Amino acid sequence: MYIIPAIDVLDKKVVRLREGSYEDVTTYDISLEDQIKKYHANGTEMVHIIDLNGAKGDFSNQEYLFDIVRRTDMKVQYGGGVRSIEKVKELIDAGVFRVIVGTQAITNPSFLEELSKLNEGRVKYANRIVIAIDVLDEVIKYSGWLESSPIKLIEYIDKCLALGFFRFLCTDISKDGKMGGAGIELYKKLLTHSPIIKLIGSGGISSMKDLENLNELGGLESCVVGKAIYENKISIEEIKDWNLKTLIKF
Protein backbone atom coordinates (compact mmCIF):
# COMPACT_ATOMS: atom_id res chain seq x y z
CA MET A 1 0.00 0.00 0.00
CA TYR A 2 1.52 3.26 -1.19
CA ILE A 3 0.93 6.56 0.65
CA ILE A 4 -0.07 9.55 -1.50
CA PRO A 5 0.16 12.96 0.21
CA ALA A 6 -2.88 15.16 -0.41
CA ILE A 7 -3.10 18.86 -1.13
CA ASP A 8 -6.55 20.45 -1.18
CA VAL A 9 -6.72 23.90 -2.72
CA LEU A 10 -9.42 26.52 -2.13
CA ASP A 11 -9.04 30.06 -3.49
CA LYS A 12 -5.40 29.23 -4.34
CA LYS A 13 -4.66 28.36 -0.70
CA VAL A 14 -3.73 25.01 0.82
CA VAL A 15 -6.60 23.97 3.08
CA ARG A 16 -8.44 21.07 4.66
CA LEU A 17 -12.19 20.76 5.10
CA ARG A 18 -13.88 18.97 7.99
CA GLU A 19 -16.43 16.42 6.75
CA GLY A 20 -16.47 18.18 3.41
CA SER A 21 -17.93 21.40 4.80
CA TYR A 22 -16.86 24.61 3.08
CA GLU A 23 -17.93 26.38 6.27
CA ASP A 24 -15.34 24.49 8.35
CA VAL A 25 -12.01 25.25 6.67
CA THR A 26 -8.47 25.09 8.03
CA THR A 27 -5.98 27.16 5.99
CA TYR A 28 -2.27 26.33 6.10
CA ASP A 29 0.53 28.87 5.78
CA ILE A 30 2.29 27.27 2.81
CA SER A 31 1.81 27.69 -0.93
CA LEU A 32 0.87 24.86 -3.25
CA GLU A 33 4.20 25.19 -5.06
CA ASP A 34 6.20 24.97 -1.84
CA GLN A 35 4.19 22.02 -0.54
CA ILE A 36 4.81 20.06 -3.75
CA LYS A 37 8.53 20.87 -3.61
CA LYS A 38 8.62 19.75 0.02
CA TYR A 39 7.13 16.36 -0.85
CA HIS A 40 9.35 15.96 -3.90
CA ALA A 41 12.51 16.80 -1.96
CA ASN A 42 11.66 14.01 0.46
CA GLY A 43 11.38 11.35 -2.21
CA THR A 44 7.63 11.28 -2.79
CA GLU A 45 6.77 10.38 -6.37
CA MET A 46 3.04 11.09 -6.44
CA VAL A 47 0.83 13.86 -5.05
CA HIS A 48 -2.94 14.10 -4.82
CA ILE A 49 -4.28 17.57 -5.72
CA ILE A 50 -7.95 18.52 -5.38
CA ASP A 51 -9.39 21.81 -6.63
CA LEU A 52 -12.14 22.45 -4.09
CA ASN A 53 -13.39 25.44 -6.05
CA GLY A 54 -13.76 23.28 -9.14
CA ALA A 55 -15.59 20.62 -7.17
CA LYS A 56 -18.48 23.03 -6.67
CA GLY A 57 -18.42 24.48 -10.19
CA ASP A 58 -16.12 27.47 -9.62
CA PHE A 59 -13.20 27.21 -12.06
CA SER A 60 -11.29 30.33 -10.98
CA ASN A 61 -8.41 28.17 -9.69
CA GLN A 62 -7.90 26.04 -12.77
CA GLU A 63 -5.36 28.00 -14.77
CA TYR A 64 -3.28 28.50 -11.63
CA LEU A 65 -3.42 24.79 -10.85
CA PHE A 66 -2.82 23.60 -14.41
CA ASP A 67 0.27 25.77 -14.65
CA ILE A 68 1.72 24.21 -11.51
CA VAL A 69 0.84 20.69 -12.66
CA ARG A 70 2.61 21.25 -15.98
CA ARG A 71 5.79 22.45 -14.24
CA THR A 72 6.19 19.73 -11.62
CA ASP A 73 8.07 16.47 -12.11
CA MET A 74 5.76 14.77 -9.62
CA LYS A 75 3.13 12.29 -10.74
CA VAL A 76 -0.13 14.12 -10.11
CA GLN A 77 -3.44 12.53 -9.23
CA TYR A 78 -5.82 15.41 -9.97
CA GLY A 79 -9.48 16.06 -9.32
CA GLY A 80 -12.08 18.74 -8.88
CA GLY A 81 -14.40 19.98 -11.60
CA VAL A 82 -13.49 17.46 -14.30
CA ARG A 83 -16.79 17.69 -16.16
CA SER A 84 -16.09 16.66 -19.75
CA ILE A 85 -14.36 14.04 -21.88
CA GLU A 86 -12.35 16.85 -23.46
CA LYS A 87 -11.03 17.93 -20.04
CA VAL A 88 -10.00 14.37 -19.21
CA LYS A 89 -8.08 14.10 -22.48
CA GLU A 90 -6.56 17.54 -22.03
CA LEU A 91 -5.24 16.69 -18.58
CA ILE A 92 -3.81 13.32 -19.54
CA ASP A 93 -2.30 14.63 -22.75
CA ALA A 94 -0.70 17.44 -20.73
CA GLY A 95 0.98 14.94 -18.42
CA VAL A 96 -1.39 14.49 -15.48
CA PHE A 97 -0.72 10.94 -14.29
CA ARG A 98 -4.25 10.18 -13.09
CA VAL A 99 -7.49 12.10 -13.49
CA ILE A 100 -10.19 11.78 -10.85
CA VAL A 101 -13.78 11.89 -12.08
CA GLY A 102 -16.65 12.17 -9.65
CA THR A 103 -19.73 14.32 -10.02
CA GLN A 104 -20.08 14.04 -13.79
CA ALA A 105 -19.77 10.26 -13.68
CA ILE A 106 -22.66 10.12 -11.21
CA THR A 107 -25.01 12.76 -12.63
CA ASN A 108 -24.54 12.12 -16.36
CA PRO A 109 -25.48 8.50 -17.24
CA SER A 110 -23.64 8.62 -20.57
CA PHE A 111 -20.38 10.15 -19.29
CA LEU A 112 -18.69 6.93 -18.22
CA GLU A 113 -19.88 5.14 -21.34
CA GLU A 114 -18.31 7.85 -23.51
CA LEU A 115 -15.17 7.83 -21.38
CA SER A 116 -14.86 4.05 -21.74
CA LYS A 117 -14.57 4.43 -25.51
CA LEU A 118 -11.18 6.10 -24.99
CA ASN A 119 -9.86 2.66 -24.08
CA GLU A 120 -10.35 1.47 -27.65
CA GLY A 121 -7.50 3.56 -29.11
CA ARG A 122 -3.72 3.44 -28.83
CA VAL A 123 -3.65 5.01 -25.37
CA LYS A 124 -5.52 3.02 -22.75
CA TYR A 125 -7.16 5.51 -20.43
CA ALA A 126 -8.67 3.11 -17.91
CA ASN A 127 -5.43 2.92 -15.92
CA ARG A 128 -5.26 6.71 -15.83
CA ILE A 129 -8.82 7.25 -14.57
CA VAL A 130 -9.78 7.22 -10.89
CA ILE A 131 -13.47 6.98 -10.06
CA ALA A 132 -14.17 9.03 -6.94
CA ILE A 133 -16.72 7.59 -4.55
CA ASP A 134 -17.37 9.91 -1.61
CA VAL A 135 -19.52 8.10 0.92
CA LEU A 136 -21.49 9.17 3.99
CA ASP A 137 -23.37 6.36 5.72
CA GLU A 138 -23.17 4.34 2.47
CA VAL A 139 -24.78 7.18 0.49
CA ILE A 140 -22.72 8.51 -2.43
CA LYS A 141 -22.23 12.27 -2.26
CA TYR A 142 -21.15 14.59 -5.07
CA SER A 143 -20.72 18.26 -6.06
CA GLY A 144 -18.22 18.87 -3.29
CA TRP A 145 -20.23 16.51 -1.03
CA LEU A 146 -23.20 18.87 -1.17
CA GLU A 147 -25.61 16.53 -3.01
CA SER A 148 -26.72 12.91 -2.50
CA SER A 149 -27.02 10.28 -5.23
CA PRO A 150 -29.81 7.70 -5.40
CA ILE A 151 -27.35 5.20 -6.90
CA LYS A 152 -26.50 2.38 -4.51
CA LEU A 153 -22.82 2.11 -3.64
CA ILE A 154 -22.28 -1.50 -4.73
CA GLU A 155 -24.36 -1.04 -7.89
CA TYR A 156 -22.17 1.90 -8.87
CA ILE A 157 -18.99 -0.14 -8.37
CA ASP A 158 -20.42 -2.87 -10.61
CA LYS A 159 -21.41 -0.36 -13.30
CA CYS A 160 -17.91 1.10 -13.41
CA LEU A 161 -16.28 -2.33 -13.57
CA ALA A 162 -18.56 -3.35 -16.44
CA LEU A 163 -17.31 -0.31 -18.39
CA GLY A 164 -13.67 -1.17 -17.77
CA PHE A 165 -12.86 1.18 -14.88
CA PHE A 166 -11.20 -0.51 -11.92
CA ARG A 167 -9.45 2.15 -9.82
CA PHE A 168 -11.57 3.83 -7.13
CA LEU A 169 -10.82 6.60 -4.65
CA CYS A 170 -13.16 6.01 -1.76
CA THR A 171 -13.50 8.73 0.85
CA ASP A 172 -15.40 8.01 4.05
CA ILE A 173 -16.79 11.51 4.65
CA SER A 174 -17.70 10.74 8.26
CA LYS A 175 -13.98 10.24 8.93
CA ASP A 176 -12.54 12.97 6.70
CA GLY A 177 -10.69 15.80 8.42
CA LYS A 178 -11.34 14.39 11.90
CA MET A 179 -8.18 12.30 12.20
CA GLY A 180 -10.17 9.74 14.18
CA GLY A 181 -9.21 6.66 12.18
CA ALA A 182 -9.89 5.41 8.67
CA GLY A 183 -13.07 3.86 7.27
CA ILE A 184 -11.86 0.28 7.53
CA GLU A 185 -15.31 -1.30 7.60
CA LEU A 186 -16.34 0.54 4.42
CA TYR A 187 -13.20 -0.54 2.58
CA LYS A 188 -13.58 -4.10 3.81
CA LYS A 189 -17.11 -4.20 2.38
CA LEU A 190 -15.98 -2.93 -1.02
CA LEU A 191 -13.02 -5.31 -1.22
CA THR A 192 -15.14 -8.26 -0.14
CA HIS A 193 -17.62 -7.49 -2.91
CA SER A 194 -14.98 -6.80 -5.59
CA PRO A 195 -11.48 -8.08 -4.71
CA ILE A 196 -10.21 -7.12 -8.18
CA ILE A 197 -10.64 -3.37 -7.76
CA LYS A 198 -7.68 -1.05 -7.23
CA LEU A 199 -8.84 0.78 -4.12
CA ILE A 200 -7.43 4.05 -2.81
CA GLY A 201 -8.51 4.87 0.73
CA SER A 202 -9.07 8.40 1.99
CA GLY A 203 -10.33 10.11 5.14
CA GLY A 204 -9.56 9.96 8.83
CA ILE A 205 -5.96 8.76 8.76
CA SER A 206 -4.27 10.25 11.81
CA SER A 207 -1.27 8.07 12.65
CA MET A 208 1.12 5.42 11.43
CA LYS A 209 -1.05 2.95 13.35
CA ASP A 210 -4.00 3.85 11.11
CA LEU A 211 -1.80 3.15 8.08
CA GLU A 212 -0.78 -0.20 9.53
CA ASN A 213 -4.44 -1.09 10.11
CA LEU A 214 -5.30 -0.20 6.51
CA ASN A 215 -2.34 -2.17 5.24
CA GLU A 216 -3.53 -5.23 7.13
CA LEU A 217 -6.70 -5.28 5.03
CA GLY A 218 -4.48 -6.57 2.27
CA GLY A 219 -6.42 -5.09 -0.64
CA LEU A 220 -5.72 -1.36 -0.73
CA GLU A 221 -3.49 -0.20 -3.56
CA SER A 222 -2.77 3.10 -1.83
CA CYS A 223 -4.17 5.67 0.55
CA VAL A 224 -4.35 9.46 0.60
CA VAL A 225 -3.06 11.34 3.66
CA GLY A 226 -3.64 15.05 4.15
CA LYS A 227 -4.46 16.70 7.44
CA ALA A 228 -2.32 14.33 9.51
CA ILE A 229 0.75 15.63 7.68
CA TYR A 230 -0.13 19.30 8.21
CA GLU A 231 -0.93 18.67 11.87
CA ASN A 232 2.42 16.86 12.35
CA LYS A 233 0.79 13.55 13.26
CA ILE A 234 2.62 11.80 10.42
CA SER A 235 5.95 13.09 9.18
CA ILE A 236 7.02 13.29 5.56
CA GLU A 237 10.08 11.23 6.53
CA GLU A 238 7.81 8.45 7.83
CA ILE A 239 5.90 8.50 4.55
CA LYS A 240 9.15 8.32 2.60
CA ASP A 241 10.37 5.32 4.62
CA TRP A 242 7.00 3.55 4.28
CA ASN A 243 6.85 4.08 0.52
CA LEU A 244 10.42 2.90 0.00
CA LYS A 245 9.60 -0.35 1.80
CA THR A 246 6.42 -0.69 -0.26
CA LEU A 247 8.34 -0.30 -3.52
CA ILE A 248 10.93 -2.85 -2.39
CA LYS A 249 8.15 -5.38 -1.76
CA PHE A 250 6.80 -4.84 -5.29
| Cβ neighbours of residue 226 closer than 8 Å, sequence gap 6 or more | 5, 6, 7, 8, 16, 48
Residue 180 has pLDDT above 70, yes or no: no
The string of pLDDT tens digits covering residues 111-141 is 999 999 887 655 678 889 999 998 888 889 8
Question: Which of the following is catalytic: 134, 172, 176, 210?
Answer: 134
Residue 145 has pLDDT above 80, yes or no: no
At residue 233, the pLDDT reads 92
How many structural domains is the chain composed of? 1
Residue 195 class from Cβ within 10 Å (0-12 exposed, 13-18 middle, 19+ buried)?
exposed
β-pairing, 167-172 vs 129-136, is: parallel
The pLDDT confidence band at residue 250, using thresholds 50, 70 and 90, is very low
Q: CB neighbours (10 Å) of residue 31?
A: 14
The string of pLDDT tens digits covering residues 29-69 is 999 999 999 999 888 899 999 999 988 888 888 889 888 98
pTM of the model: 0.89
Known catalytic membership, residue 11: no
Residue 53 belongs to domain with CATH number = 3.20.20.70
Residue 206 has pLDDT above 60, yes or no: yes
Nearest-angstrom CA–CA distance, 139 and 101:
17
Query: Of 49-58, 148-157, 163-172, which range is least confident?
Result: 49-58
**Looking at residues 217-228, what average pLDDT do you find?**
91
Known catalytic membership, residue 134: yes
**Domain containing 160: what range?**
2-248
Question: Which of the following is catalytic: 8, 51, 172, 210?
Answer: 8
CA distances for 211 relative to 116, 183, 228, angstroms: 33, 11, 11
